[in-house]
Amino acid sequence: MSTKIPVAVLAATGSVGQRFVQLLDRHPLFEVVALTASDRTTGQKYGQACHWILPGDMPGWAAEMTLLPTEAASAATPLAFSALPAEAALEIEPEFARAGTLVCSNASAYRNEPDVPILLPEVNPDQAAILEAQRRRRGWTGGIVTNSNCTSTGMTVALKALQDAFGLRRVFAVSMQALSGAGYPGVSALDIVDNVIPWIRGEEEKVEWEPRKMLGSLRGEEIVPADFRISAHTNRVAVVDGHMVCLSIELANPATPEEAARVLAEYQAPEAARDLPSAPRPVIVVRREPDRPQPRLDRMTGNGMATVVGRVRPDPLFDIKMVVFSHNTIRGAAGGSIYNAELLARLKVIGR
């Protein structure tokens, strides 16, 4: 008999939903028992309803599962991974949380709430403790834990290492983001072949704020954002997977590029997050070639869970320039949520 934790994937047919199904195949801790979808396809087999867009075949067990409606009544597992769009998440995720499900969510709907953590196990596992206050306040027996916007993820991991060592003052961030970040069908091919789109709706606001919350601190029953500022430009480019971010960073205590590179390369996740199945080892891979990271070559570093940093060099205005890269649908979405759930399982806060 399986002792794995039974989980549901909410909105399993979309591009992030598919990544969940792929990454949960043969997962050591979790067993998918429910796949949900929008009304249009419930009742169909996942194999029929889902236009699978990932390399490799859909796992056989998933193909055979019957899609359920996205309702707490039908899919009340102790743990659920949510790939719901923000609007739907706003209503549906609390329903699950109330019914006792701990929801690990990719949606932005609740990221702004001071009692909902944006969790990044390598960075802020301590913020998981806010769950207790969340449950008490809201009368939930489950809860909502989010992961950050896919662009914020990699840069926050890198900023954490620098924050610990030197402190942060100001950060310029310019992203070149992959197509899969916009879902499927997402971006029209006519908009991106031989082109760049210098705008992604709502993205700059998220990138300017989410890292500050993740790098903030728990004070009483609230998470207080860290005291530094970010300016972001976000762009879409013709890349399938993997977000690249150019960073210029002003530190509180100046450091040389060599010192910064060393601190990045040696960064260790906090104890609680270290030996989990999805934990990348090392957390940050620092590349020394002049022209790396590159999406096509570096996206699967650490099974797509590592943060890759390159081109650490002096900045004529601030202190350090560098390029940060991470896989947007693995580290920045489905893989990140699963890593969060692994942390929460270890902390024994699932399924009370």
Beta bridge partners, 267, equal none
Neighbour-count burial for 113-127, b at 16+ CB within 10 Å, e otherwise: bbbbbbbbbbbbbeb
- Taking CB under 8 A as the binding criterion, the range among 112-120, 176-184, 218-226, 251-259 that sits at the site for a second copy is 176-184
| Chosen residue from 135, 311, 327, 331 binding a second copy by CB under 8 A | 311
104 is catalytic: no
CB 307, CB 244: distance < 8 Å = no
By beta-carbon proximity to a second copy, the closer residue of 30 and 228 is 228
- Give me the least distance between CB of 188 and a second copy, in Å please: 3
Tokens at 73, concatenated: 């009544």
CB 288, CB 309: distance < 8 Å = no
Residue 327 touching a second copy (CB under 8 A)? no
Residue 304 touching a second copy (CB under 8 A)? no
Residue type present at position 37: A
- Taking CB under 8 A as the binding criterion, the range among 73-81, 150-158, 307-315, 339-347 that sits at the site for a second copy is 307-315
Residue 162 touching a second copy (CB under 8 A)? no
Instruction: Write the CB contacts of 172 (distance below 8 Å, at least 6 apart in sequence).
Output: 230, 231, 232, 246, 247, 248, 249, 318
Catalytically annotated residue among 50, 104, 233, 243 = 243
Nearest to 315 by CA among 231, 257, 244: 257
Query: For 170, phi and psi rounded to 5 degrees?
Result: -145, 145
Residue 312 touching a second copy (CB under 8 A)? no
150 is catalytic: yes
220, HSE (Cβ side, Cα atoms, 13 Å): 1
| Chosen residue from 2, 60, 139, 317 binding a second copy by CB under 8 A | 317
| Chosen residue from 15, 82, 134, 151 binding a second copy by CB under 8 A | 15
Alpha carbons 208 and 160: distance in angstroms, whole number: 15
By beta-carbon proximity to a second copy, the closer residue of 97 and 251 is 251
Alpha carbons 185 and 53: distance in angstroms, whole number: 10
Per CB under 8 A, which of residues 216..235 are in contact with a second copy?
229-231, 233, 235
Alpha carbons 327 and 315: distance in angstroms, whole number: 26
Residues found near a second copy in the complex (CB under 8 A): 15, 53-56, 170, 172, 174, 176, 179-180, 184-199, 208, 229-231, 233, 235, 237-240, 244, 246, 248, 290-300, 310-311, 315-318, 321, 323
Residues known to be catalytic: 150, 243
